[in-house]
Each structure stands twice: as C-alpha cells, then as structure tokens.
Amino acid sequence: MNDTFLKACRGGKTDYTPVWFMRQAARFLPEYRRVAAKADFLTICRTPELAAEVTVQPVDALGVDAAIFFSDITTTMVPMGIKLEYADSKGPYYPEPLRTGADIDRLTVPEPEEGLVFVYEAIKILNKELADRVPLIGFAGAPFTMSAFMVEGSMSHAFTKTRSLIFSEPGLFHRLMDKVSRFTARYLKAQAKAGARALMLFDSFAGMLGPKDFIEFNFPYLKSTVADLKTAGVPVIYFGLGQHGALEQIGSLGADVIGVDYGISLDNAVSRLGSGVTVQGNIEPYVLLQPEMPMRQRVAEVLAQGRLARAHIFNLGHGVPTNTPVENARAMVEMVHELSRK
Amino acid sequence: MNDTFLKACRGGKTDYTPVWFMRQAARFLPEYRRVAAKADFLTICRTPELAAEVTVQPVDALGVDAAIFFSDITTTMVPMGIKLEYADSKGPYYPEPLRTGADIDRLTVPEPEEGLVFVYEAIKILNKELADRVPLIGFAGAPFTMSAFMVEGSMSHAFTKTRSLIFSEPGLFHRLMDKVSRFTARYLKAQAKAGARALMLFDSFAGMLGPKDFIEFNFPYLKSTVADLKTAGVPVIYFGLGQHGALEQIGSLGADVIGVDYGISLDNAVSRLGSGVTVQGNIEPYVLLQPEMPMRQRVAEVLAQGRLARAHIFNLGHGVPTNTPVENARAMVEMVHELSRK
C-alpha cells in the first residue's frame, strides 16, 4: 500500500508530499455522474456498493494518495433520533430541527451499529478494493457542526437560531454538545474498527463563533472527542473551516493533522499552530480552473509554505469546485508529486 | 454636536468610547417596523424623507454616538447600468448579473448625481435633523463586494461565479474592479459634499478570497479608492468582513478606521493592524441576547482590548440581530459609555 499519506499524518519523512482533495468524489467526475444518474444522493450514501464505488473513483481518475469515504455529515445523526430528508434546492436537511430542551432531551446516544450498518459495510468493501492502493479516511461532522446543523435544520448564512440558543440558553447547548460528541466518537471508532486508516472531523461551521465562544462551546467537546478517537490507534485529522482566531488552541487539540482553509496563508497557520502537528491544505480551489503555468506557481508556493510544518499533506482549502475539468485536477496531483520530489 | 466619534476616528483622546451598531436602523426597532409597514425596502431607500427618518431612529432609541445613512449597498450600482429588484426571499438582487466581457463593457462610470439624487437629498435633510446631535456616516459597498455581487446577481454562499471568473479570466475582473472603484469614489465624495461627516466602505465579501488573491484583486482598488476619498477631508472607515489573512496590509490601506468582525479577537487584530489606525468593533452581536451581567463582562473585555489601539470605536462584529430586544441594545450603549469613563 502507498503509505505516504499515513506517514505524513504522523509527522514522518516521505519521498514526496501526499495529496488528496476535499470533495474529490463528486459531480465533476463523469464516473460519479453516471452513478448519480441511477441513484439519488442519499441512496448512494446508504448503499454500501455505490458508496464504495464512488469512493474509489477519484483514486483511479486523479491518482490521489488517499481515499475518503463517500458520505454526508448529516446522515450520521439519524440514529440519534432526528429525521433527514433531501431536496435538490438545499441538499440534505432536517425537517424537524431542534428548538427546545425537550427536543434535545429526546435525542439518544445509541450504539454505533444502530442505523449506520451501511457505513461499516461500505468500509469493508473498500478494505478489499483499496487493499494494495491507498489508505481510506473515515469521517464525520465535528460535534459543533452537527449540533448547529440540527438546530438550524438546513444550511444557514448566519446561524441565527444556533447563536440565539447559545447566548440565551447556554446550558441547553452544552447538553446537546455532550450528546453529539459522545455519539460522534462512537461512530468514528466503529469506522476505524471496520477498516478506516485515519479519521477526520469536518467542522464546517467552526468559524460561526468568535474565538472566545469557540473555546467555550466547541473546543472542550472537540478535545474529548479527539482523545477518545486516539484510542482507536489511527491518525486523527481536524478541519475547522473559517476558525482563524483560535489556531493556537487548535494546535493543542491533540489531533495529528490540522486542515487549513484558504482564508489564511499556510505559513501564517503553521507559525500559530506550532510544530506538533502535520498541516493539510490549503490551495484556493478555483486555482483548479487556471491554465498550467499559473497553477504550477501556486502549487509551488503552497508546497514551500508547507515545508515549514513537521509534515504537509497537500489539499485544497475547501471542496473541489463543480466546474473543475478532470484533467486540471489530475494535473494538480501530478504537479504536487513532481515539485515536492525536488 | 457630540464629536466623540469623529475625534476617535482621527485617533484623538475622548472622555468615553463612542459606540454605534452596524445595522442599527432595522426591524428590531418598533419605529422602523412602523415605517416598513407603509413602504417597501427599496422605497424607504429611495425616498429622502423616509431614509432620513429611519436613519435618525436609533439615535433617539439607543443613544448611539453616530448615525449611519440608511441605504442598501446594491442601490449604488444602478446608475452604472445594472437592473435592481427586490424579493422578500432573497432581498435586493440584480436580475441580469454580469457574466461576459460585453456585460462589463456596457457598465458606465457616471457622474454621481445620475440616478442617486435621493441619497444627497436625504443627507441634506439629515444635516438639519442631526445638526446638534451626532455625526452622519455615509457609506457604500467596497468595490470588490459590489463587483462580486454584480457577477453573482444575489447573495451567495461560495461565490462560485465570481471566483470562476477571477481565476479563468482575471483581466475581465480587473476591468470590472477599475470601473466600480472609480464610480464608488465619486459617489462617496458626493455624500461628503452633501454633508456626511465620515465615509465607510463595507467589504462584506472581502473574506471570499484568500490573502494572496485579496492583495491582487481587491487591495489595489481599495487603496486607490481610499486615497481618492481622503481628498474629501473626512475620516474613512474600512470594514472587510471575514478577511483575517491580510490584516497587516489592511493596516497600511490609508483608512483612518478599520472595522473588525467578531471572528478574531480585537487585541489580535490590533497587533496585526499596527498603531496607525483606530479600530472599530467587535463584540459578538448575539451577546445582545444575554442578561445584564454576562453582557457587562463581554463589553468590558472588548473595551480592554480596544485600549491597545490608538483609539477605539465600539461596535458589533457584524449587524444587529433581528431578534434583539431594544432595551438590551440601549443597555449595551450605556455600558460602553459607563465602563469606558472609568
């Protein structure tokens, strides 16, 4: 197996910089669109054979150094007792969002097998399909992101309902975070047990709170979750989108790898995160639309900044744009490999 | 006139810290809702008597140290030749967004009087109504924010059309920025001529680009606009929402005051902006929903951090939440005045 990615996670030296892309299994790939033509989004997530198929596609199409399990962060919460639906206009959403203490008290903290067997089944298929190729990353939404999503019900600009709840009834929000973080840890450890070789927490809404409130309402639960995940024996990756005010704390989280978005430069992030973590990121995703020469220069810049960290996993600073030409994504992977070998 | 705000803009000592709130003229005020019951949003913006009336309301209701002209950033662009409409579901939007070079070439850079006479008329009414009270801040969307809004057409999560244009046709985007910044400077100087005592650029989408691209595609036009505005002889305020990666450059912009959002702590921002600017900000707006004691503690913390700058204008780190109780907003203004006198 190509273990470049796993070595870099643990801070080891590698022959070249490993690379994968957030949202690498998606509509910009013709292979994905063929699967999506016969099954809707939640069906792909919940059918082990289909989820495994689209997880492998970018490994074939792009030559990346890691696969990430195809799923959606919203699916994970269903066993806790919240309904999930999908609409083309807004993606997956919770039609009965959490608004009261009673709503929060009704959530359960089930065993990880309940309702999510399709995840572990898909991972077992992937163990075979990826055996001699690249490691599989398991993932979940971070506890804060899932709590906020369940309070809002669907994607939100300003998270007005979540922030209203936090500042008017902080105790309620802490109760929610406690339940969600306990279940998230169970779920991710079960992914590792099924065969995931690294575990990633996506905190897509981490930047919704300022640094002080991030440290009070998000960080303690994140820290306990990461400590719990470390017992699974695989590297843990944290990506807190938009949280630029608490990077010093995030560096002390206990995660092996910290993902960095494109909102700050990687050298700035490295100097604040400290030397104890590997960094993952952070090229502006729309550089994927550029011609070869400017793209090459941008890749070289990010690689140079990444050398300041103990190790660097190249990635985008956010997901792959839908209008990315596949050949450009493949060219970027090759550039990362070629330029980092020098 | 209470000139505490203007003194602080220029870095002078004041008896207490001046305070106003972004979006202080809005639906959370019952007086505003009474006006909104008889006229729609764009009608309020375009009717000098109504715009002036709602501009004064928060001065009466909250006791703030500055008024900000009631308008919407989208209205400013109409004289350049773009259509504007309003829908309750998405607010003001441009039904024919800019997508091609021909679209951009059709935009004109008109004299500021064309199509915006209602703005200068409203400011003249406000000169009389606010004469012995507080200064009026004139404002516009920053050139990048308006260019991005015209490319997208309406509010956007990821600004996919703008970023696609920037990275695939950078020359086109530069042409757009050049036109928009020239018109924005003309428009704001005309506001100062009509009586505005300070000028503010709202760069609501400044964080959409990473620091490198901010410096290439946004900053040069911002810098020329600010230099042009300084010839009007009034303080210039810049607020770049979400742009946390280029604060050192923003400190060198030439603006008198830099607004800071709640995503980073004010002391961190001050240390990166340098000692040449007054800072404005940055309490988490939802603190307005808290009871008195936690609110008081948060106000004291922001005031203590603000003392590190050459001068501080207290404000929220984003707009007033719609569900803010008026008495809480008034209490926060009083706390700022009281605690900063000590």
Q: Does an H or E element contain B331, and which?
A: helix B326-341
In angstroms, the CA B104 to CA B254 distance is 28
Class for the domain spanning B4-341 = alpha beta
B210 and A321 within 8 Å at the Cβ level: the answer is no
The set of residues, in sequence order, having a beta carbon less than 8 Å from that of A198 and lying 6+ positions away, is A5, A6, A9, A66, A135, A136, A137, A138, A234, A235, A236, A237, A257
What is the pLDDT, as a whole number, of residue B113?
85
Nearest residue in B to A245, CA atom:
B264
Q: Is the Cβ–Cβ distance between B238 and B201 less than 8 Å?
A: yes
Mean pLDDT, consecutive 10-residue segments, chain A of 342 residues? 97 97 97 97 96 98 98 95 93 96 97 91 96 96 98 93 96 98 97 98 97 98 98 98 97 98 98 97 98 97 98 98 98 98 85
Instruction: Copy the structure tokens of residue B246.
Output: 């280029």
Q: Which residues pair with A239 in a beta bridge?
A: A202, A259
Structure confidence by residue, pLDDT tens digits, B173-186: 999 999 999 999 99
pTM above 0.90, yes or no: yes
DSSP at B216: I
What is the pLDDT, as a whole number, of residue B342?
74
Q: Is A179 on the interface with B (CB under 8 A)?
A: no
**What percent of chain B lies above the pLDDT cut of 70?**
100
Structure confidence by residue, pLDDT tens digits, B204-261: 999 999 999 999 999 999 999 999 999 999 999 999 999 999 999 999 999 999 999 9
Question: How high is the ipTM of this complex?
Answer: 0.95
A286 and B323 within 8 Å at the Cβ level: the answer is no
Question: Which of B286, B292, B328 has the most A C-beta neighbours within 10 Å, making it the best mutation to test the interface with A?
Answer: B286
CB contacts of A155 in chain B (<8 Å) are 157
Structure confidence by residue, pLDDT tens digits, B279-301: 999 999 999 999 999 999 999 99
What is the pLDDT, as a whole number, of residue A214?
98
CB contacts of B213 in chain A (<8 Å) are 284
In chain A, what are the domain boundaries?
Answer: 4-341
CB contacts of B289 in chain A (<8 Å) are 164, 167-168
Nearest residue in A to B262, CA atom:
A210
Nearest residue in A to B317, CA atom:
A210
CB contacts of B211 in chain A (<8 Å) are 263-265, 268
Q: Is A150 on the interface with B (CB under 8 A)?
A: no
B48, HSE (Cβ side, Cα atoms, 13 Å): 14
The set of residues, in sequence order, having a beta carbon less than 8 Å from that of B56 and lying 6+ positions away, is B67, B126, B129, B130
What is the pLDDT, as a whole number, of residue B37?
97
Q: Does an H or E element contain B312, and which?
A: strand B312-316
Q: Is B72 on the interface with A (CB under 8 A)?
A: no
CB contacts of B321 in chain A (<8 Å) are 160, 163-164
Q: How far is A287 from chain B (nearest CA, A)?
A: 6
Instruction: Copy the structure tokens of residue B162.
Output: 């703008």
Q: Is B264 on the interface with A (CB under 8 A)?
A: yes
A286 and B163 within 8 Å at the Cβ level: the answer is yes
Q: Residues A334-340: contacts with CB within 8 Å, 24+ apart?
A: A334/A63, A335/A295, A335/A296, A335/A299, A336/A16, A336/A17, A336/A19, A336/A299, A336/A303, A337/A16, A337/A17, A337/A19, A337/A63, A339/A296, A339/A299, A339/A300, A339/A303, A340/A16, A340/A17, A340/A303, A340/A314
> What are the distances in angstroms from CA B334 to CA A47, A202, B290, B337?
59, 41, 15, 5
B317 and A157 within 8 Å at the Cβ level: the answer is no
Nearest residue in A to B322, CA atom:
A160
pLDDT bin (cut points 50, 70, 90) of residue B89 is: confident
Q: Is the Cβ–Cβ distance between B18 and B279 less than 8 Å?
A: no
Q: Is the Cβ–Cβ distance between A32 and A26 less than 8 Å?
A: yes
Q: How far is B326 from chain A (nearest CA, A)?
A: 15
Q: How far is B293 from chain A (nearest CA, A)?
A: 12
Question: Which of A155, A157, A165, A167 has the most B C-beta neighbours within 10 Å, making it the best mutation to test the interface with B?
Answer: A167
Q: Is B174 helix (H, G, I), strand (E, B) or coil?
A: helix
- Give the count of Cβ contacts less than 8 A between chain A and B: 92
pLDDT bin (cut points 50, 70, 90) of residue B114 is: confident
Q: How far is CA B152 from the centre of its chain?
A: 20
CB contacts of B284 in chain A (<8 Å) are 163, 167, 209-210, 212-213
A286 and B211 within 8 Å at the Cβ level: the answer is no
What is the pLDDT, as a whole number, of residue A88?
87
Burial status of residue A30 (CB atoms within 10 A of its CB: 0-12, 13-18, 19 or more): exposed
B212 and A242 within 8 Å at the Cβ level: the answer is no
A164 and B284 within 8 Å at the Cβ level: the answer is no
CB contacts of A210 in chain B (<8 Å) are 262-265, 284, 317
CB contacts of A244 in chain B (<8 Å) are 244-245, 263-264
A207 and B265 within 8 Å at the Cβ level: the answer is no
Q: Is B257 helix (H, G, I), strand (E, B) or coil?
A: strand
A157 and B155 within 8 Å at the Cβ level: the answer is yes
Instruction: Copy the structure tokens of residue A91.
Output: 């993606």
Q: Is B201 helix (H, G, I), strand (E, B) or coil?
A: strand
Pick B289's closest partner by Cβ from A167, A213, A321.
A167
The set of residues, in sequence order, having a beta carbon less than 8 Å from that of B308 and lying 6+ positions away, is B266, B267, B270, B271
Tell me the average pLDDT across B312-324.
Answer: 97
Q: Is B15 on the interface with A (CB under 8 A)?
A: no
Task: Give the position of tokens 């990077």.
Answer: A247
Q: Is the Cβ–Cβ distance between B313 and B19 less than 8 Å?
A: yes
Q: Is the Cβ–Cβ distance between B95 and B153 less than 8 Å?
A: yes
Give the 3-state DSSP-derived string for chain A, with helices as H, strands as E and coil as C.
CCCHHHHHHCCCCCCCCCECCCCCCCCCCHHHHHHHCCCCHHHHHHCHHHHHHHHHHHHHHHCCCCEECCCCHHHHHHHHCCCCEEECCCEEECCCCCCCHHHHHHCCCCCCCCCCHHHHHHHHHHHHHCCCCCCEEEEEECHHHHHHHHHHCCCCCCCHHHHHHHHHCHHHHHHHHHHHHHHHHHHHHHHHHHCCCEEEEEECCHHHCCHHHHHHHHHHHHHHHHHHHHCCCCCEEEEECCCCCCHHHHHCCCCCEEECCCCCCHHHHHHHHCCCCEEEEEECHHHHHCCHHHHHHHHHHHHHHHCCCCCEEEEECCCCCCCCCHHHHHHHHHHHHHHHHC
Q: Is A160 on the interface with B (CB under 8 A)?
A: yes
In angstroms, the CA B211 to CA B213 distance is 6
Q: Is the Cβ–Cβ distance between A15 and A4 less than 8 Å?
A: yes
B264 and A244 within 8 Å at the Cβ level: the answer is yes
B164 and A323 within 8 Å at the Cβ level: the answer is yes
Structure confidence by residue, pLDDT tens digits, B265-281: 999 999 999 999 999 99
Q: Is B173 on the interface with A (CB under 8 A)?
A: no
Q: How far is A318 from chain B (nearest CA, A)?
A: 10
